[in-house]
Structure 1
Amino acid sequence: MAAPRSLVVESGGWLLDEDEEKNAESPSEKKLKAEKFPLSPWEFAAAMGVFLVFSTGLLCIYLTMPAAEYEMLRLPRTLADLRLLKDHLATYAQVYPAKFILGYCSTYIFMQTFMIPGTIFMSLLAGALFGVARGLFLVVFNATAGASSCYFLSKLIGRPIINWLWPEKLRYFQAEIAKRREKLLNYMLFLRVTPTLPNLFINLASPIVDIPFHIFFLATVIGLIPASYITVRAGLALGDLRSVKDLYDFKTLAILFLIGSVLLFPTLLKRKRGTVQDLILLRLKYK
């Protein structure tokens, strides 16, 4: 399966560029998005309640941290912003390592839970401040925790949102999952490693199509490692990085698809065996 033409990595997973997403929308999807807001009052209240709880917890963590130049503590939106933030936080992270990691993790998980763009910069920051080994552990841990929170949030209120945003993509995903129930972990690993489906969509749609949480969790923990390693390692040379898109050239994408294909092979082999067995039985039946 060919990779999308333009990709952005989020939390070790994948998202299409905004322009690509617009181009990929079908007329029916555009019509659905023009309709009324999908959440009922109860669902909207539940979503706001969860958001308020997470926001309050994040605020309490920041209020207990040592004083800092808070005007510098804003989410980076460009590599230039990230370089300034890294320079500002380098000393802070050395003086208060435990409290800094707590603040970093809570911010990352909050962003991942509520699908706030920018976790790619948080992953680069982990590599720049902590090195490859510790940075990779932090990114995979936070991305998995945030994806898990998003999974349960979607289980609560996600169905109308998914049906509103991506109805055709959801039907395709549901059909693919139904065909691969016996080797579901392999297929989910393939999706996590490769840019076949956006990471955001996988997090939201998984509980809707009845993917068990333990399968989702294992696929996320293992499948995020390759892309996260590339991103964290790039954070070591943050000053030389010109664009986020430079992280994933054709060679890198080819390697990731090769890894994903190896993970998907047991599923394809199972389907091939099943087809051969069906043909043999059919031949014996009508012999």
Structure 2
Amino acid sequence: MAAPRSVVIDVGKLPRDVEDEDGSAKEEDDAKKSRLDRFPLSRGEMGLFFGVFLFFFVGLLCVYRTMPAAQYGKIKLPRNLSDLRLLKENLATYAEEHPVQFLMGYCSTYIFMQTFMIPGTIFMSLLAGALYGVVRGVILVVFNATAGASSCYFLSRLIGRPLVTWMWPEKLRFFQGEIAKRREKLLNYMLFLRITPSLPNLFINLASPIVDIPFHIFFLATLIGLFPASLITVKAGLALGDLKSVRDLYDAKTLFVLFLIGMLIIIPTLVKRKRTIE
């Protein structure tokens, strides 16, 4: 009779496998928790943000409720040039028949998007050119862009410091250093930044109150400095059918002109610094 075959069970293996699985799950949970812990805004700041957002959103809804009925299924925020061309066709007659109500809706939407950093304001600027022409279009765009940037400035003053420090730490340190060196000619430097694409407008709006740029300087630089870029965008809106891409708005020639204008504005600051050093 054959001897029974012995079976050896490694009792240490099963608990180890279970332990490895538990360890992996724990590490994954810790990673998720770490990502949440790194988010810079506290619950109070998040509550404040959503409170401001709700206030603006309700105001926007109230404006839309006062507007005459329209085929809302054909009206949506444009995300590309095709959407914009279709929107222009749908809104042209409406804007002529209800000019005041349409302007209220347009301005409210533009300022809302600018305040809460919602992409797409460039399409709104193109739409202004397509519907209103150069002069009225530029005035409309500069007004709304300045109002929206000002709202974003004050929102950042409330809760922006931890968010900007978290998102752009290096860029914020650089900006703060440049502002500190140009306090005496701060308006010139801010005009340079607004006219040229040296720093994104979104970053300027959020970072300006953090680096202690006075609001009147921020407001004037925005109001005046956005004029050249607004003129380019609005003029492009007149020839919306010929525009192939948003990138075509700022070709090498256009960027050269913007930087040239910016350099002419910042020259007094550079001369002042040179004399101070000497």
Same topology, TM > 0.5: yes
For residues 28-177 of structure 1, the aligned pairs below 5 Å read: 36-177=38-179
Secondary structure in 1 aligned to 2:132? helix
Q: For residues 207 and 33 of structure 1, what CA distance do their matches in structure 2 show?
A: 27
The structural deviation recorded for 1:35 is: 5.7
CA contact under 8 A between 1:192 and 1:220: conserved in structure 2? yes
Q: For residues 38 and 151 of structure 2, what CA distance do their matches in structure 1 show?
A: 26
Equivalent of 2:190 in 180, 185, 188: 188
Secondary structure in 1 aligned to 2:184? helix
Q: For residues 40 and 65 of structure 2, what CA distance do their matches in structure 1 show?
A: 35
Amino acid at match of 1:273: R
Q: In the TM superposition, what whole-angstrom CA distance separates every residue of 1:172-195 from its partner, at most 9, and x where no partner exists?
A: 000000000000000000000001
Relative contact order, higher structure (CA 8 A, sep 6+): 1
The structural deviation recorded for 1:275 is: 1.1
Q: For residues 100 and 70 of structure 2, what CA distance do their matches in structure 1 show?
A: 15
Secondary structure in 2 aligned to 1:204? helix
The structural deviation recorded for 1:37 is: 1.5
Q: For residues 78 and 58 of structure 1, what CA distance do their matches in structure 2 show?
A: 23
CA contact under 8 A between 1:154 and 1:207: conserved in structure 2? yes
Ranges in structure 1 where 5+ consecutive residues have no aligned partner: 1-31, 277-287
Amino acid at match of 1:60: C
Equivalent of 2:210 in 189, 208, 211: 208
Q: For residues 166 and 274 of structure 2, what CA distance do their matches in structure 1 show?
A: 35
Amino acid at match of 1:175: G
Relative to structure 1, the CA distance from residue 132 to residue 33 in structure 2 (aligned partners, 3 Å threshold; closer, same or farther) is farther
The structural deviation recorded for 1:36 is: 2.1
Q: For residues 133 and 54 of structure 1, what CA distance do their matches in structure 2 show?
A: 29
Q: For residues 131 and 141 of structure 1, what CA distance do their matches in structure 2 show?
A: 15
Identity %: 74
Q: In the TM superposition, what whole-angstrom CA distance separates every residue of 1:135-187 from its partner, at most 9, and x where no partner exists?
A: 00000000000000000000000001001100110000000000000000000
Q: For residues 166 and 36 of structure 1, what CA distance do their matches in structure 2 show?
A: 14
1:197 aligns with 2:199: yes
For residues 226-241 of structure 1, the aligned pairs below 5 Å read: 226-241=228-243
Q: For residues 35 and 233 of structure 1, what CA distance do their matches in structure 2 show?
A: 47
Secondary structure in 2 aligned to 1:182? coil
TM-score normalised by structure 1 residue count: 0.84
CA contact under 8 A between 1:183 and 1:267: conserved in structure 2? yes
Q: For residues 227 and 78 of structure 2, what CA distance do their matches in structure 1 show?
A: 23
Q: For residues 82 and 155 of structure 2, what CA distance do their matches in structure 1 show?
A: 33
The structural deviation recorded for 1:34 is: 8.1
The structural deviation recorded for 1:270 is: 0.2
Equivalent of 1:221 in 216, 223, 239: 223
Ranges in structure 2 where 5+ consecutive residues have no aligned partner: 1-33
The structural deviation recorded for 1:73 is: 1.4
Amino acid at match of 2:60: L
Q: In the TM superposition, what whole-angstrom CA distance separates every residue of 1:235-270 from its partner, at most 9, and x where no partner exists?
A: 000000000000111000000000000010010000
Amino acid at match of 1:201: F
For residues 258-273 of structure 1, the aligned pairs below 5 Å read: 258-273=260-275
The structural deviation recorded for 1:33 is: 7.9
The structural deviation recorded for 1:234 is: 0.4
Q: For residues 166 and 74 of structure 2, what CA distance do their matches in structure 1 show?
A: 37
Q: For residues 104 and 245 of structure 1, what CA distance do their matches in structure 2 show?
A: 24
